[in-house]
């Protein structure tokens, strides 16, 4: 199958996941139902969460049915496949007839699967990633959460006001800058929601105006809460258009009276007309201006701008799975690309001989060096450089690494990055992906470069949404 044909296939799969028009063509085929019933199934246990996974992943013979070509290889009914009544469109109609668990469901757009039973969410997500990666490997069981609600430990609230001037906080409606007022969210940490509600309630008494995007008036734009799940430390970031915060000391005192568990409060200044939440200037109003959290036995500093997974419980599962799939012997030289604040490299450091960490963002590199020092890690070296250029320079110099960790952004990697990595010729590649679509695209290039997929494990980092995190291990052919 050519690259263009595969991309058209990916687009069809995406339409199925989001309730696209192609689903109608795939309904009501009795022959597929018969095949589904005939397939043997077994119970697969994944981190205390059990669900059924089909035994057979064999490719179906081509038939007269156009829908046959779009059926997932998991052998079960999934979103948009023949014989399944519970398509996304059907589920949305069902939600219309009964009250959703979330009062903001129709307005927000963030939790697309909030009314889908959790085991069914995992089956649907598994079918999606299994079909995308079917040319390369059979996808392992989905690693779900035992308690999938209120997992977000990074919570962002937009502040504005209603027509009467009353403060309002919430989130942007999906794809817009319209603010949906929200008091609490089933995905967000409950303590974070309570702090945001307290701040909203304090604004009038302190005569603090919320920002108006249309005319540029007002002070408070956003509030960002970050919580250390293991440490219990809490950071509150107040994003304003001015460094002058009226009655600053009294405001901090009043907020701490309501929530004494807060460990630091930071004033961040963003005076630009931008979609970015945080500005360049910030100053602690209370406490050190950062918090700590722990992952896989390591301690990490979290600043307002630090990248740290929003679901710390599954973050630990994800990184442990990456180390497990790498099958490290302790003698390897590992290269950590897109390394951010050094999380993966530092966690991997006890399991390898040496870690080389590459990151272009200077602030992230600075935090990474500090994190290594905090954890007394001495076998890791940090480079502020572009990973593509760095790997090409290593290859040109004849330098070698045994393993490459790559954790690219949602858009995936680039052909240039993949070419440089192939030129470097590591024995193994561990790819941590937050988008199965870009992952499948990149795997086509990597496998053409002489690698094969050893194993792929999806991890549910974002329950009640369509997002899927996947760890893939590749080895040289």
In terms of Cα–Cα distance, which of 267, 274, 279, 159 is closest to 210?
Answer: 159
Give CA angle at 20 (35, 469), nearest 5°.
80
Q: Which of 108, 296, 434, 473 does the annotation list as catalytic?
A: 434
Q: What is the 3-state secondary structure (H, E, C) of the chain?
A: CCHHHHHHHHHHHHHHHCCCHHHHHHCCCHHHHHHHHHCCEEEEEECCEEEEEECCCCCCCCCCCHHHHHCCCCCCCCCCCCCCCCCHHHHHHHHHHCCCCCCCHHHHCCCCCCCCCHHHHHHHHHHHHHHHHCCCCCECCCECCCCCCCCECEEEEEEEECCCCCEEEEEECCCCCCEEECCCCCCECHHHHHHHHHHHHHCCCCCCCECCCCCCCCCEEEEEEEECCCCCCEEEEEEECCCCCCCHHHHHHHHHHHCCCCCEEEEEECCCCCCCCCCCEEEEEECCCCEEEEECCEEEEECCCCCCCCCHHHHHHHHHHHHHHHCCCCCCEEEEECCCCCHHHHHHHHHCCEEEEEECCHHHHHHHHHHHHHCCCCCEEEEECCHHHHHHHHHHCCCCCCEEEECCCCCCCCHHHHHHHHHHCCCEEEEEECCHHHHHHHHHHHHHCCEEEEEEEEECCCCCCCCCEEEEEEEEC
Return d(Cα 407, Cα 413) in angstroms, integer: 9
Whether 434 sits among the annotated catalytic residues: the reply is yes
Return d(Cα 17, Cα 181) in angstroms, integer: 27
**Conformation bin of residue 188: beta by default, left when phi > 0, alpha when psi is -120 to 50:** beta
Return d(Cα 194, Cα 181) in angstroms, integer: 14
**Catalytic residue annotation:** 434
């Amino acid at each position: 199958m050519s690259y263009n044909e595969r991309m058209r296939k990916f687009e069809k799969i995406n339409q199925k996941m989001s309730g696209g028009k192609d689903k109608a063509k795939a309904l009501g085929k009795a022959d597929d139902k018969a095949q589904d019933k005939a397939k043997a199934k077994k119970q697969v246990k994944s981190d205390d969460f059990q669900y059924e996974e089909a035994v057979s992943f064999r490719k179906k013979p081509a038939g007269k049915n156009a829908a046959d070509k779009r059926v997932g290889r998991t052998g079960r009914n999934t979103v948009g496949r023949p014989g399944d009544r519970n398509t996304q469109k059907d589920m949305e109609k069902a939600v219309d007839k009964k009250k959703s668990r979330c009062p903001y469901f129709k307005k927000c757009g963030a939790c697309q699967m909030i009314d889908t039973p959790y085991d069914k969410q995992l089956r649907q997500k598994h079918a999606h990633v299994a079909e995308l990666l079917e040319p390369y490997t059979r996808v392992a069981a989905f690693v779900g959460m035992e308690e999938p609600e209120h997992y977000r430990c990074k919570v962002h609230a937009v502040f504005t006001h209603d027509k009467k001037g009353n403060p309002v906080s919430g989130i942007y409606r999906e794809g817009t800058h319209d603010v949906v007022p929200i008091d609490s969210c089933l995905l967000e940490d409950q303590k974070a929601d309570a702090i945001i509600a307290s701040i909203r309630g304090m604004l009038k008494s302190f005569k603090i105006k919320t920002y108006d995007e249309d005319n540029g008036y007002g002070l408070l734009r956003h509030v960002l809460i970050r919580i250390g799940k293991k440490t219990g430390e809490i950071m509150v970031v107040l994003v304003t258009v001015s460094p002058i915060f009226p009655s600053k000391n009294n405001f901090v005192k009043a907020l701490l009276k309501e929530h004494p568990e807060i460990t630091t409060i930071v004033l961040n200044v963003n005076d630009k007309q931008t979609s970015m939440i945080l500005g360049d200037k910030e100053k602690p109003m209370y406490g050190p201006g950062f918090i700590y959290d722990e992952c896989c036995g390591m301690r990490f500093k979290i600043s307002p701008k630090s990248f740290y997974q929003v679901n710390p419980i599954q973050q630990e599962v994800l990184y442990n799975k990456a180390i497990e799939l790498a099958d490290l012997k302790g003698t390897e030289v590992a290269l950590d690309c897109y390394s951010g604040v050094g999380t993966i490299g530092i966690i991997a450091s006890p399991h390898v001989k040496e870690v080389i960490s590459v990151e272009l963002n200077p602030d992230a590199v600075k935090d990474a060096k500090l994190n290594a020092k905090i954890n007394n890690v001495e076998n890791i070296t940090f480079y502020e450089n572009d990973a593509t250029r760095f790997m090409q320079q290593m290859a040109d110099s004849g330098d070698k690494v045994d393993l490459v960790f790559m954790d690219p952004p949602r858009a995936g990697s680039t052909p240039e990055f993949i070419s440089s990595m192939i030129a470097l010729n590591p024995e193994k590649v561990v790819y941590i992906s937050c988008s199965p679509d870009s992952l499948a695209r990149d795997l086509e290039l990597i496998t053409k470069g002489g690698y094969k997929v050893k194993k792929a494990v999806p991890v549910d980092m974002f329950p009640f949404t369509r997002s899927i995190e996947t760890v893939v291990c590749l080895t040289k052919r």
